[in-house]
């Protein structure tokens, strides 16, 4: 996962996932504009393995996170952003700075499938558990990246057990996915959530808090 080589930054002239726009408008009599990106909505799933009393999350390399760290250490990288060429990354950082812990998730890009069906597919592909729509509990939906994309993510909860696991997960290599499945013990989950040495998404923190408020009190006492 962390064997990243031949790094090169270049302008993005077209994308299957992002479309840049500029909105001009007048607000309270003042003329304004705002640059934004249109992208897919998404689903995410908080997975709890009842057999081992742990959360199942994923770990993967995120180029955007990596480049934020690159810019923090080498601000000159993006100085020529309006030109056709960028300076080469002569001393790249270790790939580990771009690896994050996340909930199992996926974009909504299949018009024929419901959000629940897409969530079930993602759980199987990324984490290896076969769940049905009946196994899902919808927690809520929210807007993410409100200053840039404003896309909607819908969060589900699913309980699984060892018997429901049919593969090791890991995503779809043919689509370039390289995902590591990670288990976070229930007793260590809140410490993990607030430990900044483990880069993670807000979805992980929020969903762990939701679980401890809504599910944990109902678990059988040891």
Instruction: Note the pLDDT tens digit of each residue in 22-45.
Output: 999 999 999 999 999 999 999 999
In this structure, which long-range contacts are made by residues 94-97, counting pairs with CB atoms below 8 Å and at least 24 apart in sequence? 94/2, 95/1, 95/2, 95/3, 95/4, 95/61, 95/66, 96/2, 97/65, 97/66, 97/69
d(CA 155, CA 43): 6
Q: For position 85, what pLDDT does the model report?
A: 61
Q: For position 130, what pLDDT does the model report?
A: 97
pTM for the whole structure = 0.91
19-79+90-214: which CATH topology? Nucleoside Triphosphate Pyrophosphohydrolase (3.90.79)
| 129 secondary structure, DSSP code | B
pLDDT in tens, 4-13: 877 877 888 8
Mean pLDDT of 49-73: 94
d(CA 10, CA 39): 20
Mean pLDDT of 75-101: 76
Q: For position 81, what pLDDT does the model report?
A: 57
For residue 66, give the H/E element and its range. Answer: helix 63-73
Nearest 5°: CA angle at 66, between 190 and 148? 85
Q: For position 107, what pLDDT does the model report?
A: 96
Instruction: With cut-offs at 50, 70 and 90, classify the pLDDT of residue 157.
Output: very high
Instruction: With cut-offs at 50, 70 and 90, classify the pLDDT of residue 84.
Output: low
């Amino acid at each position: 996962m962390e064997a990243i080589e031949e790094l090169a930054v270049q302008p993005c002239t077209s994308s299957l996932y992002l479309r840049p726009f500029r909105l001009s408008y007048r607000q309270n009599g003042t003329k304004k504009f705002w640059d934004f990106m249109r992208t897919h909505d998404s689903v995410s799933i908080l997975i709890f393995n009842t057999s081992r009393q742990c959360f199942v999350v994923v770990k993967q390399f995120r180029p955007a996170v990596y480049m934020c760290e690159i810019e923090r250490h080498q601000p000159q990288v993006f100085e020529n952003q309006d030109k056709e060429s960028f300076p080469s990354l002569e001393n790249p950082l270790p790939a580990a700075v771009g690896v994050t812990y996340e909930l199992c998730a996926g974009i909504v890009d299949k018009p024929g499938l419901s959000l629940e069906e897409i969530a079930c597919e993602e759980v199987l592909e990324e984490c290896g558990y076969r769940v049905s729509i009946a196994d899902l509990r919808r927690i809520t939906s929210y807007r993410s990246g409100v200053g840039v994309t404003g896309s909607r993510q819908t969060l589900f909860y699913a309980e699984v057990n060892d018997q429901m696991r049919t593969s090791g997960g890991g995503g779809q290599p043919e689509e370039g996915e390289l995902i590591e499945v990670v288990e976070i013990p229930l007793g260590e989950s809140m410490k993990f959530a607030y430990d900044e040495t483990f880069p993670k998404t807000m979805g992980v923190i929020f969903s762990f808090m939701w679980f401890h408020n809504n599910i944990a009190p109902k678990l059988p006492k040891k």
